Structures are given as C-alpha cells and as structure tokens.
A and B are shown apart, each in its own frame.
Chain A
Amino acid sequence: MKLTGWGRRTPRATDLLMPRGPEALAAAVASDGGGAIARGNGRAYGDSAIGAQRTISTRHLDRMLAFDPARGQLVAEAGVLLCDIIDAFLPRGWFPAVTPGTKFVTLGGMLAADVHGKNHHRNGGMRHVVDWIDLAGPDGVIRRCGPDRNSELFEWTIGGMGLTGVIVRAAIRLRRVESGWIRQTTRAVPDLAGAMAAFEAAAHAPYSVAWIDCLARGQAAGRALVMLGEHAPAASLPPELRAAPLAVPARRQRKVPPFVPGRILNGRTLRLFNALYHASGRARQGTRLVDWDGFFYPLDAMLGWNRIYGRRGFVQFQCALPLTQAQGGLRALLDALAAAGSGSFLAVLKRLGPQSGPISFPLEGYTLALDFPASARTLALMERLDRITIEHGGRFYLAKDARMSSRTLHRSDPRFATLAALRVAEGLQPGLASAQSERLDL
C-alpha cells in the first residue's frame, strides 16, 4: 500500500492496518516489526501519518461513547471525525472548543498535533480541552493518561505526533453556543504592520485570523484582510433566524474533478485569485453574520481541493515566531517570498497564545502558514524560509512539514531532542515510528 499526506507528494510504501476495535488496535501496535504509527484522516500535509513499517488507521474506531452535559464532556473513540461531532452536537447547542481549519480531521489527529484554532490567543489548543486519553503502547497495553495519572506520557502525547502511542479514546470538553452563526468583522489593512496592530487591538476577540496577499506588488505589497469572529447570541439574530438559531442551511459541496489539467495554479492565476479575494474582502468590510461552516472551514466546501496542485503535489510551510521577534521575522519571510517571486496560494497569519504542553507547537507570538506547489524552486525557497525562522527564534509545525531536514528541526527546537530521549527511555522506539520521525531523527 502506498500512502501520502494531504499534500499528495511522494507516495511511500507501508502496510496499512484497519483494526475494528480497541483490542485489535492494541494488538496491531504491539505486533512484531516495530515502525508503527497511527493515521487518522490523513490531513497532515506530509509524512506524519505514514508508518515507517506499519500504518494503523483509526477510521473504524469512530464511536461516540458518552456525553455529560453538565461539563460538556464528550468521550469518543479516536477515529471520530470532527464533522460528525459538530453534526451531533451543534443542534444541541455545543461546538468544538478548539478546531483547526478543516472539519475533516479525527479526534486522535487533533490531539496528536495539539491543533490550534482561531481562538488560540484566548483559549489555547487541544491540551486545554482534553481531560484524559486512553493510549495504546508498543507493549500492547492501553493506559489511561491524564494530568493526574501517567501524566508525563499524557503531556508528551498531546502534540507528540503519534510517537508516544496510539490514542484509542479520549474525553474532551465542548463549549456552549447559542447559535450556529458567527458575527464576523472583516478589516482590510495595507500591510503587515497594520495586520499585527489589528491583532493586538483585537486581543479580546474570540476568534481572529488574517490572510495576506503576498503576491501583491509595489504599493499593495503585504496587504491583508483581518477577520474577527464571535459566536452570535441567539437574541442578536435577525427574526427569521431566531426561531431556529442552531439550524444552518447546508452548504453546497463542490468536488474537484479527479483529473486536473497540468498546473492550473501558476503565477498568473495565483495573482488573480489573490487580487479577487482581497477585492471581495475589501468590499465586504465591516460586520456581518456568516454560518459556522463558512467561517471555520472555507476550504472544506471544495472536496479534494488538494488536487488543484496537480500530480506533483504541494507543500506547506508553517512556523511560529515569538512575539519579540515576530515583526522582523515575518517581514524577512515575506521579503524572501517576494524576492523569489513565488507566491503562496494561501498565506495565513495568526496570533498565538502561550505554549500549553511540553511539545505543543504554539508559542506566544505569531504563526504564518504558506502553501507551495512542490518543485525544486519552491523547495529551495523553503530552506531559505527555514533559516530565517531559526534566525528569529522560531519553530516549525510538524503537522505541516514534509521536507525539513533533521538538522533544521533540532536547531530550531531543542524540545524534540527531549522527545527523542524520552522515546528511548520509555521503550517507545523503535516500536513507534513514522516516515517523518525517521527523517527527523525522533
């Protein structure tokens, strides 16, 4: 079986196991040969969810087990999809307390990457909403781990990219919402400094994110749209929505055709797309109501959008820069992009709150995410971006990485050496290993 990540780059051979229950899953983790890693819904961009030898899919462990409305606590198997949690619980007035930019991820994948959402600056990541996990280790034993028991294993699993075991089930807290609508405020800003000032001024906003047009030239260089959002209280909705505030009309899904001609994304179409996007954002400046799906998951409306980059696939770059160095670092990253003349289809900027767990990606500062078609040129550019990130005290997000060198990772982030040592000490290695962990010497 050959697998890739969401970026569809360089398929890798691996055995794929699809256990039907917790016991079968634990046995699959423990079986001889080592090199096993969990795979949720394969939304990590690179090779995080491809086993060095065996890949253990959690897709059949997709049951929701219990819900306690007093605490908003949901207990579910790790393969449950976020979209199913929303389907089941939004009608009852609950929403995920943390969500990434796609709802097609599993609970296990969200925990393993300690994903951050547009509310990270205020609410933190998954580490802040998880009460406990059941973790299957390479010894075939399933252990309950939480802040109060097996706490070291717990802490290093949230953000540990599957390298400490396979999460079988978990208890997470959902948040109360009164409606399925978001009050969104959009502001067009002329440049990076404007975007950062807007974030700092909006520290109280529950959700915030910015999109940067890094293809604009001259006067328009660095222009951005900053989007803020909050869950709309039921009483604030217009009368026609107030009757059923949690019901939101289903969005039409489009599907990218299976064969996309060559490279429809080139410099010209990218620039056009970005210009149009910016223009439409500018036209819609101000505050309006949008539904939860459009606000949190704009890309999900286009099923299979990862194919638009053609057969060679694409790569993401995502770094986080500490607050003190953020402005200089971001400036240098955008300058390098401009100098290379390679734009990014999407450039997303986000203010992060403090780091939560020992191996969590977020840190108090800013994160920038960029998409590139995979090519020798963009890969060389990304190495330049790596260097700039390190020079500014930044770190990298493994859920997006497909190509970094081990040296780059370890120079940027000494915590990974600690993770690697812990893996040896706890006997987690070589039982658990992904293509990524081998590449990065974890």
Chain B
Amino acid sequence: MSKTPVLILGARSDIARACARHFAARGHPIQLAARRSAALGPDRDDLELRHGVEVSLHEFDVLDLPAHAGFVDALPALPGTVICAVGLMGDQARSAADPVAAAQVMRSNFEGPASILSVLAERFEARGSGVIVGISSVAGLRGRASNYVYGASKAGFTAFLSGLRNRLAGRGVHVVTVLPGFVATRMTEGMDLPPKLTAQPEEVAAAIWRAAERRRDVIYVRPVWRAVMGIIGLVPERLFKRMSL
C-alpha cells in the first residue's frame, strides 16, 4: 500500500525538519509548508535524495487566515497526516509591555494554527480519515511569569486540540497533542537547559511518528515531563504565585 502524504506546517523549524526525515524514511511523500518556502529547495533535494519520496514546497503564513482554505485546495493531494510545528515564543518582557507584540505571539501559537487545522479537519472529516498532530507545549499547562503570553496561547491551542479530538472521535480522524518539554532547537538556543529534561528534535519526531501510528492522544516526548508537570500542577496557587519561575 502506498503511504499517504504528510503535510508539515512550519517546515523550517528543527522539529519539523526532523519530522520530515522521519516520515520520509518510512516512505511518505512530504509537503513542506512555510514562509519563504522557495528557500527550502535544499531540504526538498535532501529528502528526495535520501529517501526517494516525492516532496513539494508550499508558501504558507499561519497568520494569513483568509488564505488557509485556498492553501489546502492547492496542495497536490489532501494529506493523510498534518503536523503543525508553527510557533512563536516571542520575548516575554516585550509581550508584557506591547499589546501588538503579545497579539502576534497569541495569534501565531493559537489563532493561526487553530484556523488552518480547522480547515484540514473539515476535509479529513469529509473523507473519513486523517491524523492531525498539533505541537503545543507544557508551557500551556500553567502560566508562569517568565513566559505566560506564550504559555497562554499554547494553553488555548491545547484546549482547541482536545476539543477537536473530542469532536472527531468516531469519525475516522485522530488528533495528537504533543507537549514537548524542552527541545534543543533554534527557539531555545543559548538557553541553559538541563540535559536530562531536554529532547533532541529527532526524539520528538520519533515520538510523533509512534503517536500517530498508535493513535495516542497526548504525548510528552520525554516521560519525565509528565511527572514534572504533575508536580507543578499540585503546587497551590498561594505558593505558586510567590515562586520565581
């Protein structure tokens, strides 16, 4: 049986690149979608050369909501799986002081991804099959002073994915929520991350592939994060608000 195409949104991200390789190595045609997509030519060549699969490039801006339906129409084929790796951390101090900057973070992590995944959900539902993978974040599980604008938008995205999963259950469409802890990528470069809690992009890709195969609902990539977040969730707000996090 020939493998279904995988659409990757935010294809330039390190996690997205690792996902593209992981799925291509298993024979899936790949659709790479990103801003300035023409510059992804070398990535296309690499995937085609290594894995002998078809790869196409698609211009995509998650903030351009009106274009989302047309973007999906223009794909060479409706993908079997979509992975949304789009995200924007922003600078918390700036997000706190500048409402426009904050809105950009919120729209990039929540509004935009929710919009494009809604369009795809409709098509998948009509077809009666498909897998939707949303990369959210543990930062959305509890707001912290150091990144609550990013965290809040990821919280919105996580809730959106959970609702979407609920809606599509029994309709052949599966939704995976990925809550990676720290991942060593461009987003976190230069941060002093604890190695035991930090996954490599290839690990995230492998975990996503497994979750899609096994129809898992919510994954944390490194299991230790489930425990970490469990503990963080237990701290009473009275104490939590005084901690420097």
Contacts and interface: CB of A to CB of B under 8 A. Distances in A.
A401 interface: no
Contacts of B49: 64-67, 88
Nearest to A92: B52
A184 B49 CA distance: 32
Interface stretch (B38-46, B130-138, B221-229): B38-46
Interface string A83-100: 010011000000000000
B189 A84 contact: no
B214 interface: no
A66 B50 contact: no
Interface in A1-31: 18, 20-21
Contacts of B189: 18
Interface string A58-95: 00101111110000000001000000100110000000
A241 B186 CA distance: 45
Q: Size band of the A side of the interface? A: 10 to 19
Interface in B152-201: 186, 189
Contacts of A88: 49-50
B186 A63 contact: no
Nearest to A65: B45
B42 A20 contact: no
Nearest to A80: B46
A96 B42 CA distance: 22
Interface string B45-65: 110011000000000000000
A414 B23 CA distance: 52
A15 to B, nearest CB: 10
A72 to B, nearest CB: 14
B45 A64 contact: yes
A41 B12 CA distance: 22
Q: Size band of the B side of the interface? A: 10 to 19
A172 to B, nearest CB: 14
Nearest to B43: A63
Given A18-B189, A20-B186, A65 B50 contact: no
Given A84-B50, A88-B50, A65 B42 contact: yes
A63 B32 CA distance: 15
B50 A77 contact: no
Q: Of A18, A67, A77, A84, which is in contact with the most chain B CB atoms at under 10 Å from its CB? A: A18
A64 B47 CA distance: 8
B42 A77 contact: yes
Contacts of A18: 186, 189
Contacts of A62: 46
B186 A64 contact: no
Contacts of B46: 62-65
Contacts of B45: 63-66
Contacts of A21: 39
A259 B137 CA distance: 32
Nearest to A22: B42
Contacts of B12: 20
A64 B46 CA distance: 5
Contacts of A77: 42
A87 B42 CA distance: 19
Contacts of A66: 45, 49
Contacts of A84: 50
Contacts of A20: 12, 186
Interface in B21-49: 39, 42-43, 45-46, 49
B125 to A, nearest CB: 36
Nearest to A88: B50
A18 B39 CA distance: 18
Nearest to B192: A1
B47 to A, nearest CB: 9
B88 to A, nearest CB: 17
Q: Of B14, B43, B49, B186, which is in contact with the most chain A CB atoms at under 10 Å from its CB? A: B49
A66 B46 CA distance: 8
Given A18-B189, A64-B46, A66-B45, 12 more contacts: A18-B186, A21-B39, A60-B14, A64-B45, A64-B49, A64-B50, A65-B42, A65-B45, A65-B46, A67-B49, A77-B42, A87-B50
11 contacts: A18-B189, A20-B12, A60-B14, A62-B46, A63-B43, A63-B46, A64-B49, A64-B50, A65-B42, A67-B49, A84-B50
Interface of A: 18, 20-21, 60, 62-67, 77, 84, 87-88
The 8 A-B residue pairs with the shortest CB-CB distance in the complex, in nearest-first order: A63-B46, A88-B50, A63-B42, A64-B49, A65-B45, A64-B46, A67-B49, A65-B42
